[in-house]
Amino acid sequence: MSASPPVALTIAGSDSGGGAGLQADLRTFTACGVHGCVAVTAVTVQNSVGVTAVVEIPPSTVADQVRAVADDIGVAAVKTGMLASAAIIRAVAQVCDEVGIGRCRAVALVVDPVAASMHGDPLLAEDALAMLRSELLPRATLVTPNLDEVRLLVGLDIGSPAEQREAARALHALGPRWVLVKGGHLRGDSPCLDLLYDGSELTAFTSPRLATPHTHGSGDTLAAAITSALARGTTVPQAVGYGKRYVEQAVAHAYPLGAGVGPVSPFWRLRPETEPIRCGGKVHKPP
Ligand code: PXL
């Protein structure tokens, strides 16, 4: 028997292409040394080209999954991804209060405010944004929007680091303990700049801009790596530093898949493809 690892829970949608959503979260949790549990919010029908259908899970079933995990297994940190609808967001906010998840509680809540896929397919109903703003952000330990999500949440169109700082302040005013404004979508050749803000101090995290079209699941992977570090007991700034380093490698090891956008590789550090498989007297060499 081994010692139990820390436990992280993702409240997220399924990506049938396996590159983003709960699939990316679970792989990242595993690679970052935590046991991953899941509360599924929606099933998306998608591949590398786009999303063709979304089926939502009933809000009470989403909450029941969280309750079942929290009551028996216990969780050290929680992440939200695609939440699909206003009713699911309300149910998640309520169950977080009930089982002690969130910014003023023992268990950290990382909110990745997923609103659309990278192809622009909507992953959040329009009326759900208001619910995200009013019910979930005030409960978040950390919220991790990209620039598109910043525009949707606080109406700011960001074109410069100065505007990124303004956005961090505007988002913080909505109630999360910490805000990480991801600048990866800012145009130009400059390094990617992410800004972390706690209401008084701004900390800049820079990383090189890597030339790959295959970035599907990068936001999920970053937030899941941050959540893993929090589950393992780090502070928020330490977790963000860890997550940034982790996702940088995941993007560097991204691979093509299907005809469209391929995924980042959350298991870059494990590299199981380099291990031969030995069975039945045969050795299946790595590719
Ligand atoms: O990467 C954001 C994301 C989250 N969750 C699901 C997704 C996507 C992007 O496509 O499909 C289920």
What is the structure's pLDDT at 187?
A: 65
pLDDT tens profile 42-54: 999 999 999 999 9
What is the structure's pLDDT at 57?
A: 98
113 CB less than 6 Å from ligand 1?
no
Q: How far is the CA of 43 from the centre of ligand 1 (A)?
A: 10
Angle of helix 86-99 relative to helix 59-68, nearest 10 degrees, comes to: 20
Q: Which residue's CA is minimally distant from atom 11 of ligand 1?
A: 15
What is the structure's pLDDT at 281?
A: 87
11 CB less than 6 Å from ligand 1?
no
82 CB less than 6 Å from ligand 1?
yes
pLDDT tens profile 5-39: 999 999 999 999 999 999 999 999 999 999 999 99
25 CB less than 6 Å from ligand 1?
no
217 CB less than 6 Å from ligand 1?
yes
Assigned superfamily of 7-284: Ribokinase (3.40.1190.20)
57 CB less than 6 Å from ligand 1?
no
pTM: 0.96
Q: How far is the CA of 36 from the centre of ligand 1 (A)?
A: 17
Q: Which residue's CA is minimally distant from atom 4 of ligand 1?
A: 21
Mean pLDDT of successive 10-residue segments in the chain (287 residues)?
A: 96 98 97 98 96 97 98 98 98 98 93 91 90 97 96 92 95 98 77 94 92 93 98 98 96 94 88 84 86
What is the structure's pLDDT at 185?
A: 64
pLDDT tens profile 75-91: 999 999 999 999 999 99
Q: How far is the CA of 254 from the centre of ligand 1 (A)?
A: 16
Mutate to test the pocket of ligand 1, among 25, 110, 117, 227 (most ligand atoms within 8 A of CB): 117
15 CB less than 6 Å from ligand 1?
yes
Tokens describing residue 274: 């380099």
What is the structure's pLDDT at 51?
A: 95
What is the structure's pLDDT at 188?
A: 65
Q: How far is the CA of 10 from the centre of ligand 1 (A)?
A: 13
